[in-house]
Structure 1
Amino acid sequence: MSEMLLDLQGVHTHIGAYHILHGVDLQVPRAQLTMLLGRNGAGKTTTLRTIMGLWQASQGKVSFAGRDITRLRTPQIAELGIAYVPENMGIFSDLTVKENMLLAARAARTADDIDTQRLEWIFQLFPAVQKFWNHPAGKLSGGQKQMLAVARAIVEPRELLIVDEPSKGLAPAIINNMIDAFAELKSRGVTILLVEQNLNFAQRLGDHVAVMDNGRLVHAGRMAAFSEDVQLQQRLLGLAL
């Protein structure tokens, strides 16, 4: 198996009085796409937020590129080359698309300072970002906001992209656009961890799959093998790909 870029070992997370993660062991291979699946409430979003330091692990270890990041603050984790797109996308509605992108391009003081070649590449992936460049982000459709959220996450080179339910509520044409974009990112060597409920989306994109249930990892393996095992899918997810 490829070198692991991200490695969670025995991670527990408490939120107030609630014990959400119960010893999660999750490995994400470098330059591949790992799907994190599971029923609602299984602990997927909590896992992502724990990786990003938004919630602190109460026990266990999170390692990135061989470095222990368990106790780092979220800005420190982001500076290591990890980008996170939450389920709510985190768009600044009152700012324009350009201003949203500029906030994420930390090395740039003005939009003219953003790497031109990289911006052109992002416009090819997500034409709506260019089309609505000077429009308030709050006026965009749900699909356009999701495109902006991912575009913002990759406006600077990242080693790891973490995205929570990118296809949620999107039209099929937008989902296909997202699939193409993530495939292009993967081809450029970006490691990707996706939480997803759309199993067709997961099957078309994933190299690896990890399944959570009740705060624990209950399955990990190759997506191709998981896609062929209908009984396993039904046992773990209650449905089949």
Structure 2
Amino acid sequence: MSHLLELRGVHTHIGAYHILHGVDLAIPRGQLTMLLGRNGAGKTTTLRTIMGLWRTSKGSVHFGGQDITALDTPAIAHLNIAYVPENMGIFADLTVKENMLLAARKAGNAAQMDAARLEWIFKLFPAVEKFWNHPAGKLSGGQKQMVAVARAIIEPRDLLIVDEPSKGLAPAIVNNMIEAFAQLKQSGVTILLVEQNLHFAQRLGDSVAVMDNGRVVHAGCMAELAQDAALQQSLLGLAL
């Protein structure tokens, strides 16, 4: 199996705190991988380390066969990797259109954005079109999450990394998000999702990695984990 992204023995310190303790993680190309684990297990730190926002103190990160461990965050993003952080990173005072335009590096103005791709995004996330000229800060949490993901895919990406896309969302919005990620997966993009919503994980995941205490303690097929209640209990302290 071809892996698009690999972490090999990654350690990350934040100040005096040793957060990641030798993370080994392989993300298969063209699949949706769920990164699960209890709060504080190191999931968000893993994503931030991949993006160069926090530095590895030991180990390496490889993308498409290239060692990207020492690259800064803008250089990593330019490799066609998009990252949606847990706080969504929306520019509240800008309109939805202006938020999207900032992410569309090839467009100097709204008219230069890829019309066909925008149409596809509007079908995935109707709220993006509906609130196109509204300040993004005035949107609901679910609408902001849609804008954040839409902004990340305004240009074709090789890898999409999203931290807890369903957090705090109403069930109807969660189902909308599941549909959108299913379509994104079908379009061929490789996706890495951190998620606490196990229904979300079960519906979407091809492969899964479970973290605990700064390490990956289980990696395999999502369907196998979804069918093994004892394994879920031991890894996550709860059952799907």
| TM norm structure 2 | 1.00
Where 2:149 maps in the other structure, the secondary structure is helix
**Cross-structure match for 2:222:** 223
The amino acid across from 2:111 in the alignment is D
**Cross-structure match for 1:40:** 39
Where 1:168 maps in the other structure, the secondary structure is coil
Instruction: Find the aligned partners of 1:234 and 1:128 in 2 and give their Cα distance.
Output: 37
Structure 1 runs (4+) deviating above 2 angstroms are none
The amino acid across from 1:148 in the alignment is V
Q: Size of the alignment, in residue pairs?
A: 240
User: Can you list the C-alpha shifts for 1:108-131, whole angstroms capped at 9, x where unaligned?
Assistant: 110111000000000000000000
Where 1:91 maps in the other structure, the secondary structure is coil
| 1:23-172 mapped onto 2 (5 Å cutoff) | 23-172=22-171
Instruction: Find the aligned partners of 2:188 and 2:125 in 1 and give their Cα distance.
Output: 19
Per the TM alignment, residue 234 of structure 1 is displaced from its structure 2 partner at its CA by 0.4
Instruction: Find the aligned partners of 1:180 and 1:5 in 2 and give their Cα distance.
Output: 23
RMSD of the alignment, in Å? 0.4
**Cross-structure match for 1:195:** 194
Per the TM alignment, residue 164 of structure 1 is displaced from its structure 2 partner at its CA by 0.2
Identity over aligned pairs, percent: 79
Instruction: Find the aligned partners of 2:56 and 2:176 in 1 and give their Cα distance.
Output: 35
The amino acid across from 2:47 in the alignment is L
Where 1:60 maps in the other structure, the secondary structure is strand
Instruction: Find the aligned partners of 1:111 and 1:176 in 2 and give their Cα distance.
Output: 29
Where 1:130 maps in the other structure, the secondary structure is helix
User: Can you list the C-alpha shifts for 1:165-213, whole angstroms capped at 9, x where unaligned?
Assistant: 0000001111011101100010010000000000000000000010000
Gaps of 5+ in 2: none
Gaps of 5+ in 1: none
Instruction: Find the aligned partners of 1:200 and 1:176 in 2 and give their Cα distance.
Output: 10
Instruction: Find the aligned partners of 1:181 and 1:64 in 2 and give their Cα distance.
Output: 25
**Cross-structure match for 2:5:** 6
| TM norm structure 1 | 0.99
Instruction: Find the aligned partners of 1:215 and 1:148 in 2 and give their Cα distance.
Output: 30
The amino acid across from 1:91 in the alignment is I
